[in-house]
Chains A and B, each alone.
Chain A
Amino acid sequence: MMLRLTKHAIYDILRNRFVLFYALFLLVITFSLFSLDSDPGKAVLSLLNIVLMVVPLVSIIFTTIYFFNSYEFIELLLSQPIDRKVIFFSEFLAVCLALSVAYGVGVGLPVLLLGGDAGAVYLVGSGLLLTWVFVALAFAASVSTRDKAKGIGVALLFWFYFGLIYDGFMLYIIYSFSDYPMEKLTLALISLNPVDLARMVILLKLDISALMGYTGAFLKDFFGTSLGIVYSLGLLLVWVLIPMVYALRRFLGKDV
Chain B
Amino acid sequence: MIRVELIKLAGRPRTWVAIGLLCLLPAVVAVFLATTRISPPPGQGAAFLSAVLQSGSLYPAAALALVLPIFLPVAVAVVAGDAVAGESSQGTLRYLLVRPVRRTALLGAKLVAIVVFVVVAVLSVAGTSYVVGVSLFGAGDPVAVVRALPEVTGGDDAVAGAGSAGGEQPASAGGQVGGSDASQSGARPGTDTGDSTAVADDQAARDRAQSSVSSLSGEALGPADLAARLLGAMGYVVVSMLGVAAIALFLSTVTASSLGATLGALAALITSQVLVSLDAASSVTPYLPTRYWLAWVDFFRDPIFLRDISSGLWLQAGYVVVLMLAAWANFTTKDVTS
The judgment on whether A and B are partners is no
- Chain A contacts to B: CB under 8 angstroms: none
